[in-house]
Amino acid sequence: MNPCGATTGFFVLGRCGRAAVTVCRCGRQICAEHADQQGLCPECSGAQGYADPYRPGWARGFRRSYYQRSSYDYGDPNLYTGYDIYDRSGFDQGDDFAIGGDVDPDSGDGGWTDS
Amino acid sequence: MTGEAPETQASPAGPPEVRAAYFAFDRFPSTKGSAVHIGQMAAELFERFGGGLLGVLGGGNLPRYQWEPGSGIRIARFGERIPNLIDRAEAYSAWVAAHVAPHVETLRVCHVRDPWSALPVVTAPGRRYPVVYEVNGLPSVELGHTWPLAAPATLARIAELEDFCLERADVVVVPSGVIGTALRRRGVPGERIELVPNGADVPPERPRPDDAPESYLVYAGALQPWQGLDVLLRAFARLADLTGLRLVILSSVPERRARALRRLAERLGVEDRVVWRFTLPHAEVAAWLAGAAVSVAPLTGCARNVDQGCAPLKILESMAAGTPVVASGLPAVRELMADGVHGRLVAPDRPAELARAIRVLLEYPDAARAMGERGRRRVREEFAWAATRARMATIYRSITSNSGITR
Ligand SMILES: [Zn+2]
Ligand SMILES: [Zn+2]
């Protein structure tokens, strides 16, 4: 039996592990419960429902249009586009203990149990 | 229960429609106290609305999308590695906007936890849903403490963003009266502010950790400067005559964050008696808390703690574990525990005073044990997560029935 590779859980994550019935296009083995109608795993299926934020450059482009639209709608360009290079520079290095998570993938605070 | 009981929601062709969403610019799950809070609040929201969308930060090996068959809960995680915090926050806001847009018709409530989650949610084109903005802290205040290079003008802009979102939120939820007062001072009308205290659950009895020292003080939590760990290390140095005593620091953040504090411990000559543990699972933290002689919350008297307020989960969780607490007697802390009843309150930033209070508790173990017992009782009677969640349920019920948007 090939175990289903979908992630399960809320506070504590684990792997589904039920018997897989199909293979998603990403190569993951998927059980009947976790496969959508196209045979996609939850991760690939979820990504399909939204604008693709992981295309390289998406964040920057979307961000620009989003903030421009917001500034236009609310008539306050300074609020949304007002962070200049000096504003940003204070946040380049250092510690992001509390806000906005941690960009280091090795940080080990992922609450992961079984991998 | 009222109309929030799960109704039929799945169209036969697709996943269930999203009627509730919770967004937080924070990693979930994680070992930080904030993750416990996020999980409890989101779980209550999803229980009321038959599932929903949880939008949080990912990274590491957390999957970008997850959904549980049968629960109606889907989780989306923003996982882009963008080193600059402002860039990351803005990209995250845009990501939230993209995750709200497809559900704008069906959403009946959105719950957010920070201004970068709030902005796209309060400004979403076609918005008909009420917004609950939960303010546990204000980045415009906190970032000044953790990012020394942040310019005052930049923090002022972040404060403007907060005000913009606070104005447009239907309900502003705060975990302590102090934060509520701070927000009233900033112009948020009092009738929109709801106090929903943090919770803790009394953990099941667990054996003492195998590697636990015979007698130890414990600190549990993150290592930001406002936590006052430097004060605790200095106080601990004054207890050097108690040769068997150890200080256990259960850091909710990774080891590399501890460098400066470890250097300080070395300089103070206490490093051999400090036991570090990093990012332990919640249940193990509970066992360490329960085994400690005293739990210490040495919060500093800085603006972040005093003016903005805080609601340290570690105090409630120590009380839940039946361990007496020695904490800085800040107004927000007094909302959780009383001096001489559940432990001792001391002036912040005073290592000598902190050391003295700890020493007294160590010298009178029976009195200390009684304080721990009273703390446990107080958590059970007043601060159970069930009580926190029941308050949230009432808020969700009132805004979805008053707003005229219930379908
Ligand atoms: Zn599965
Ligand atoms: Zn897949």
**pLDDT one-digit tens code per residue, A48-77:** 888 655 555 555 555 555 665 555 555 554
Contacts of B120 in chain A (CB under 8 A): 66
CB contact (8 A) between residue B93 and residue A33: no
pLDDT at A63: 56
B159 inside 8 A of chain A by CB: no
Same fold for the pair B20-199+385-402 and B216-383? yes
B97 inside 8 A of chain A by CB: yes
B1 inside 8 A of chain A by CB: no
Is 90 exceeded by the pLDDT of residue A82? no
Identify the weakest region by mean pLDDT among A26-35, A76-85, B304-313.
A76-85
Contacts of A86 in chain B (CB under 8 A): 151, 154
Gap from CA of B210 to ligand 2 centroid (Å): 41
Gap from CA of B400 to ligand 1 centroid (Å): 34
Structural contact between residues B129 and B111, judged by C-beta atoms closer than 8 angstroms = no
Higher-confidence residue of B237 and A45: namely B237
Is 70 exceeded by the pLDDT of residue A94? no
CB contact (8 A) between residue A53 and residue B98: yes
Closest-CA residue to A50 (of B65, B383, B348): B65
CB contact (8 A) between residue A10 and residue B68: yes
pLDDT at A52: 59
Which CATH number is correct for B20-199+385-402, 3.40.50.10490, 3.30.70.2190, 3.40.50.2000, 3.30.1490.100?
3.40.50.2000
pLDDT at B352: 98
For chain B (length 407 residues), average pLDDT per consecutive 10? Answer: 41 67 94 88 96 92 87 90 83 89 95 94 93 94 83 90 94 95 95 95 91 97 91 98 97 88 97 96 93 97 84 92 97 95 97 98 98 97 96 95 51
Q: What is the dihedral of CA A78, A81, A85, A90, to 10 degrees?
A: 80
- Tell me which CATH homologous superfamily contains domain B216-383: Glycogen Phosphorylase B; (3.40.50.2000)
What gap in Å lies between CA B156 and CA B186, rounded to an integer? 13
Q: Which residues contact B400 (CB under 8 A, 6 or more apart)?
A: B3, B4, B108, B109, B130, B406
User: Starting at the edge strand that comes first in sequence, how are the strands of the sheet with B20-27 ordered?
Assistant: B65-67, B73-78, B52-57, B20-27, B109-112, B131-134, B171-174, B193-195
- Name which of A10, A33, A59 is nearest B80 (Cβ-Cβ): A59
pLDDT at A96: 43
What gap in Å lies between CA B97 and CA B23, rounded to an integer? 11
CB contact (8 A) between residue A95 and residue B97: no
Structural contact between residues B250 and B285, judged by C-beta atoms closer than 8 angstroms = yes
pLDDT at B4: 44
Confidence category of residue A106, pLDDT binned at 50, 70, 90: very low
Gap from CA of A1 to ligand 2 centroid (Å): 19
- Name which of A34, A74, A82 is nearest B69 (Cβ-Cβ): A34
Gap from CA of A66 to ligand 2 centroid (Å): 29
Q: Which residues contact B363 (CB under 8 A, 6 or more apart)?
A: none
Distance from CA of A68 to the nearest CA of B (A): 11
pLDDT at A93: 54
A14 inside 8 A of chain B by CB: no
Ligand nearest, relative to CA of residue A38: 2
A61 inside 8 A of chain B by CB: no
Closest-CA residue to B348 (of B329, B324, B363): B329
pLDDT at B144: 85
Residue spans per domain, chain B: 20-199+385-402, 216-383
Gap from CA of B91 to ligand 2 centroid (Å): 24
What gap in Å lies between CA B49 and CA B121, rounded to an integer? 18
Residues 273-292 of B with CB under 8 A from A: 278-279, 281-282
| Average pLDDT along chain A | 70
